[in-house]
Amino acid sequence: MRKPLIAGNWKMHFTVPEGLEYALQLRRDLEPYSAVVDAVILPPAVMLWEIANALRGCAIEVGAQNAGWEDQGPFTGEISPKMLAGWCHYLLIGHSERRQLFNETDEELNRKLHAGLRHRLKVILAVGETLEEYEAGRTAEVITRQLNAAVYGVELRQATELSVAYEPVWAIGTGKAATPQYANETMGLIRRLLESPFGALASEIRILYGGSVTPANARSLMEQPEIDGGLVGGASLKAADFTGSSRRRLRCCSRRECERTRAGTRSRDHRRLGLPSGAGGQRDRRCQETELGRALGAMAAHHPGRGRRARRSTGGSAGELRGWPPQYRRRADRLPGPDPDQPRDSRRKLQAEPGFAAGHD
């Protein structure tokens, strides 16, 4: 079963201090659900490093909203996947705002996709049709062109790091959203298109919905079998809305699992008593509570000393980062600070050396 993914795209919002404070709040709110839902935030590039350090050791991952396709060079204002590799987890490319406002082409996105995968970033590729294309009935044509051009030349072993986000442009920022049935049908088309280059692996690629996801419509969307999560825009800027979308995805997954369990292995008591298949609301709730309990138990087992503040672990070698920012890292090769009188003494010795005055006239 594909693990759900909820990605929050902050776009061009928040200052660095505001973004850092908000990220710490999301860490407290979303960490209990990390065992059943992958949570990713996509801050502006200027605060990526600070937020990545604040969330180090946490299940919430960070990603960049965009990157170039070259490793380095005379590209003023760009960041490269090579700069993100090793500490940044995800990379979003092909967002409709990048396609429309910055005229990004399918060929450029193909090069960005290859660059991101080459540096082992998990790439979220966004595709979607405009209002004019939607009204003209060209949705399938547009999606096919964008997807085939973007994944051209991608190797099978790299496809495991790929996710696709379907974002109908006519629904972004307008308050309108595609109906759950329409979104599910279109995302089923995307999965069928992925089968051509990737075969059976297409069934493991996560497909997200990204058109005005809010807590009000998240549940109806996430209940659809082809929707594996959401690319959340405006709603990700409010902790209650973003956390609510993640919780609704968790409930949908728990309910699906309960339904499969009831349909496949009904208890002997139910079969003997002939209870209807719809009876079992209490069981649904128990299953949800069990999933949440497992998530909390797994997190506690993996991070036994975690409390409200990050603590330095008693295990590990000196200098190992256990949830602390790098500037607080303890290093074995770091010398103790100088004595308060040391700079003044050093200066007197330096002035006493022959040739000092001659060289500083």
Tell me the C-alpha distance between 116 and 126, whole Å. Answer: 14
The b-or-e profile of 164-178 (16+ CB within 10 A means b, else e) is: bbbbbbbbbeeeebb
Counting beta carbons within 10 angstroms of the beta carbon of residue 270, is it exposed (0 to 12), middle (13 to 18) or buried (19 or more)?
A: middle
DSSP-derived 3-state class of residue 222:
helix
Q: How far apart are CA 270 and CA 268, in angstroms?
A: 5
Q: Which of 41, 36, 38 is nearest to 26 (CA)?
A: 41
Exposure string (b/e) for 59-90, b if CB count within 10 Å is 16 or more?
bbbbbbbbbbbeeeeeeeeebbbbbbeeebbb
Active site residues: 95, 167
**3-state SS, residue 253:** helix
Hey, is 270 helix, strand or coil? helix
Residue appearing with tokens 């993640």: 246
Angle at 129 between CA 204 and CA 162, to 5 degrees: 25
